[in-house]
Structure 1
Amino acid sequence: MLLKWLDNIIWHNTTLSDTLHNKNIYLHLSLQNACLFALMAQATFLIFFIHVGVWSLCIVNICSILGYLLCYWLVLQNQYTPVGVILTTELAVYATISGLILGNGNYGLLGIFMDISLQLLIPYIATRVRIIISSLLTLLLISLIIMGYTFQPLVDLGKANMVLCILHVLSSIGALLIGALLLPRVQTSVNYWVRHQLEELKTEAYLDPLTQLHNRRYADIVFDQLRHYTTSSLWHVALLDIDDFKFINDDYGHLAGDMVLKALSETVQEQLHAGDFAFRWGGEEFLFLLKNCTSAQAYARLDNIRKVLGQSAVRYEQASIHFTVTIGAGKLDLQDIIGSINNCDQKMYQGKRSGKNKVVF
């Protein structure tokens, strides 16, 4: 459930442009999640210290919260190195001050372990630098453990110390879960999302944006597939042109012409059979591929499309626009697809010259 929630955040708040132009998208999302978790953890500790009256640590917690808010803002500005430095410093300073005031008996030193984990999991700076920082943090951890046996804590929390131990353990487990589960999921989710968006762009590249029919570029792919992988000759090709479309644009405007094109494409998609193809060939011309039909059947289906379109009307403002189409059709020769289309084009213009509003086979 949590991982699905993370996926939704990535998919709804990240644009493809961001992803392609920002090579550090994984680092961006990782630090963003780390800052949000740290803010929630410090807010919890602040409430606890207010309740038990340890005001010195309340001030430290407030400073930490302000630091994390600054980090979150820096992440949004794509300033990742300062974020990593601030997070590293805050965790080390907080664990040190907490150890001096309360001692090491409440697991406060787990913050140093989280700090070291940060160096291992989030590449906010060069690897060599993070290795050096991890070494220094390890020395700090050893020093604090030794100091815990040497100095008495300044504040004794009594029974409340057990609650603080639980909070420290839970915050450490939460940080480990983020490192072990969420951060790898961020990378996986981003990669999946990018692939999905690129596939959508690829699909859009083959669609005519006005009619939502496949375009001429996609028709070339279909013809290539038919040429190489189809042995059946039961394919027919047809070229449709809207009669006097120029007058529709001149009399009613180009917006009305666009509405006619969309209405035609919707009607065609309703009338075609499964396995057929419809393409916007260019302007007011449309190309159809009809599968598994005889010439007589192809003629009947195309003539039915012509009749349905002729009986329809497109409402535009106060006008009702009627239009007709002329269709040229024939068998598709898979060895001469261009010749087949040219043949349809000639027959279509033959129909135009002989009165329009007809199917010429």
Structure 2
Amino acid sequence: MAKIQETIAAQLSRYSIAGYDNIKQHVILSVALAFCIMAHTYLLVFFAMGKIEPLIIANIGSLAIYYFTAAFLIKRRRYLIIRTIIVCEVSLYATFTGYMFGIGNYIIGNFLLILVLQLLLPYGDLWYRWMLSLFSISLMVFSFSLGYITAPVLVLPDFENGIFIAANICIMLFGTCIEIKIEQIILSVIDESHKYSLEKATLAANTDALTSAYNRRYADEYIENLQASSPNVNFCVAMVDADKFKEINDVLGHDVGDQVLIHITKYFQTHLRQNDMLFRWGGDEFLIILKEITLPQAHGVLDRVRKQLIDTPFQAKNQAVNISISVGVAEFDLCNPYASIERCDQNLLVSKQRGRNMVYSGL
């Protein structure tokens, strides 16, 4: 069962959310056709051993219909037509079998199976399902009428009749269980795939496409969450700017500038504390929110990271590029978050005015 789930999940991973319904129909109907082919193969062998020619011909005809359906219609994804063929074939075969052997519980079961699956596995418009259901009911009524009007054409010996009845009941029960179980597995996998796709879409909406740092939109959401969940925790906020970034772009090109931003992002993501959050604020500026920390501690953490960044080698176009940053830090007041961000931005300006490559917090 786990193997089936893995296979279905692998198939679903190739489709968008809009395509999940198609792959669901594809898997369910492929399994249904495979089961019908196996069932009629068994019945063909059974009737061939008994040399019952009308049923041999009927089963060969059924197999031809299902092989054609599997070979051509499944590939063309004509799912509504496939379901119609399955319902009609099972109904007609049940009627023919009832005519040949008389109405038995297994024949009734075949008709009930069709009607139950119409309810459990809805597809198409409601009127279309009602039409197929009425077709099956009409054939069932006709089969019962034949049972009162005419005698069975064939009467099997008790032993063979017992095997035939038992086999039909098993086919009916297994067919229902398999179809329902496959439906449950697919719905479960689709649900997990929906969750994964939603998480993936949310992550894409919250992150910067170039650096994979959280973006400014998510920073606003994160700050709102902090205001609601952590009103009594000490925070600090820092604004980080890459020194002489315009010169890097002008001399080495924008592709190198992009690599510098990616390098800075990865470095901070690796060297900041686990609870600290990094956001790309815009251009070459990054915002950092540090949790459960005082201003002197935040100053020390960021200054250590700044010094280590300078000593970290970075190669661009076969030459070493010295990367340094300027940082402004301030206490983060959750009651006035954007005033705090403005204050750390002013501290960043002081850091740059004093020669860059430093952390300024006003201490």
Normalising by structure 2, what TM-score?
0.82
Amino acid at match of 1:67: I
Aligned-pair CA distance for 1:325: 1.0
- Given the alignment of the two structures, is residue 319 of structure 1 paired with residue 335 of structure 2, yes or no? no
- Report the equivalent of 2:283: 283
1:218-233, aligned counterparts within 5 Å?
218-232=218-232
- Report the equivalent of 1:81: 80
Q: Is this contact kept in 2: 1:27–1:123, CA < 8 A?
A: no
Amino acid at match of 1:151: P
Q: In 2, distance between residues paired with 1:64 and 1:253?
A: 69
Q: In 2, distance between residues paired with 1:204 and 1:275?
A: 21
Aligned-pair CA distance for 1:337: 1.6
CA offsets per residue over residues 286-344 of structure 1, 9 Å max, x none?
A: 11111122222111100111111111123345333331111111111222222221222
Q: Secondary structure at the match of 2:37?
A: helix
Q: Secondary structure at the match of 1:151?
A: coil
Q: Is this contact kept in 2: 1:241–1:326, CA < 8 A?
A: yes
Q: In 2, distance between residues paired with 1:95 and 1:223?
A: 66
- Report the equivalent of 2:209: 209
Aligned-pair CA distance for 1:285: 1.4
Q: In 1, distance between residues paired with 2:6 and 2:15?
A: 18
- Report the equivalent of 1:345: 345
Amino acid at match of 1:95: A
Q: Secondary structure at the match of 1:330?
A: strand
Q: Is this contact kept in 1: 2:238–2:288, CA < 8 A?
A: yes
- Report the equivalent of 1:90: 89
- Report the equivalent of 1:307: 307
Q: Is this contact kept in 2: 1:233–1:332, CA < 8 A?
A: no
Structure 1 window deviating more from structure 2 (8-17 vs 346-355): it is: 8-17
Q: Is this contact kept in 1: 2:235–2:290, CA < 8 A?
A: yes
- In the alignment, structure 2 segments of 5+ residues that lack a partner are none
Q: Secondary structure at the match of 2:201?
A: helix
Q: In 2, distance between residues paired with 1:315 and 1:92?
A: 73
Structure 1 window deviating more from structure 2 (323-332 vs 350-359): it is: 350-359
Q: Is this contact kept in 2: 1:42–1:61, CA < 8 A?
A: yes
Q: Secondary structure at the match of 1:334?
A: coil
- Report the equivalent of 1:136: 138
Normalising by structure 1, what TM-score?
0.82
Q: In 1, distance between residues paired with 2:75 and 2:121?
A: 16
- Given the alignment of the two structures, is residue 152 of structure 1 paired with residue 150 of structure 2, yes or no? no
- In the alignment, structure 1 segments of 5+ residues that lack a partner are none
Q: In 2, distance between residues paired with 1:25 and 1:264?
A: 43
Structure 1 window deviating more from structure 2 (97-106 vs 178-187): it is: 97-106
CA RMSD of superposed structures (Å): 3.5
Change (3 A) 1:355 1:69: farther
Q: Is this contact kept in 1: 2:32–2:179, CA < 8 A?
A: no
Q: In 1, distance between residues paired with 2:171 and 2:354?
A: 83
Aligned-pair CA distance for 1:240: 0.8
